[in-house]
Amino acid sequence: MTDAKPVRQERWQFLDAIRGIAALAVVFQHVLWYVSPTFESFFATVWSPGRFGVVAFFIVSGFIVPQSLESKGNIRAFWTARFYRLFPAYWSSLLLIAIVLGLGLSWHPPISLKYLLQWLVNLTMLQEFVKIQDINPVAWTLGLELALYGAITLAFARGFLKRTWLIAMSLLFLLAVASTILPNVFHIRFPAGGAAVCSSIILGLVLYRWFTGSLANSDAGVIGFFCLAVTILSAFANYSPSRLLSDPLQPTQLSAISSVLTGYVFFIVMFLFRGAKFPNWTLWLGKVSYSLYLLHPVTGMVFPKEMNHWARAVLEIVSSLTLAWLGYKFIEEPFIKIGKRRIRSLKN
């Protein structure tokens, strides 16, 4: 253990840049998947930009959440900020999907406006835990993020959030057990990418503690190794070495592992250059990244499948970026400001 360094309060540009590039990587996967069988095969068997993006995104979450919670020093203030940051934009994506369905456009996987329970449960972000289908197909990560926020909040409330070794190794042990026993004993495949997402958040927490000087180099290295090891173990337990025709969207072991590894490397490289000035376009992407992540699936359902695939891909990317800007400007930004006012009122 070393003496903790004071944490800078200004916004870290490198985190915004990572968020933006990560969200764009997810968009590229979902758009290019249908352009050519070559892309489809490469993403499933060799390397997945979408999984890479999700991993990088959640390392950022793990890095910033403890700082956010500790700087506020108040659980209610923390969850107020999280609520106004996450839920209005998410609910707006569900509303947009409902409009698409109301216009008679198709949605994949098929859903209906008639399934009231499905819509109500999806409002909570917790549908993954009760085995109810996501309405927004990218929402599977959000419930996992909330669960990890809950674990970090519990650690903070009990006064051992800074006991990084205990938290990280306990969670990694549970992940290792769940991702091996569930598929091999109970024949239940661990939620797609669940181990990768959870391990990424844990790695972010570890890197933050190391960065602030409260975790020794050797401890950070050991925990980081176990984060990667648990993810690899889960990939071998839950995925096939070759592509399954019965489930073409499922990655192979190589694709799952390579995507996580490159996500780790990407974050670390960006972290090493954290003092650099990043291009404005990456910072802009970082600002709208959450809306970009949530809203881009809508564009995939709007343009006719009969269009030229490359023209359709360009239109989807441009319209996704436009939707993301609108979502940030008129949903995210106003509600974030409301959240900040609510937090100030709590303090008063």
Q: Which structure tokens are listed for 72? A: 């506020």
Per-residue confidence at 3, pLDDT binned at 50, 70, 90? very low
Res. 1: pLDDT tops 50: no
Per-residue confidence at 11, pLDDT binned at 50, 70, 90? low
Contacts 24+ apart (CB under 8 A), 43-47: 43/251, 43/255, 44/243, 44/248, 44/249, 44/250, 44/251, 44/252, 44/255, 45/242, 45/243, 45/251, 45/252, 45/254, 45/255, 46/254, 46/255, 46/258, 47/255, 47/258, 47/259, 47/262
pTM of the predicted structure, to 2 decimals: 0.92
| Mean pLDDT estimate for the chain | 90
Instruction: Say what the pLDDT of residue 189 is.
Output: 67
Per-residue confidence at 156, pLDDT binned at 50, 70, 90? confident
Domains of the chain by residue range: 13-347
Instruction: Say what the pLDDT of residue 268 is.
Output: 96
Q: Which of 21-30, 234-243, 287-296, 322-331 has the lowest mean pLDDT?
A: 234-243
Instruction: Say what the pLDDT of residue 9 is.
Output: 44
Res. 281: pLDDT tops 60: yes
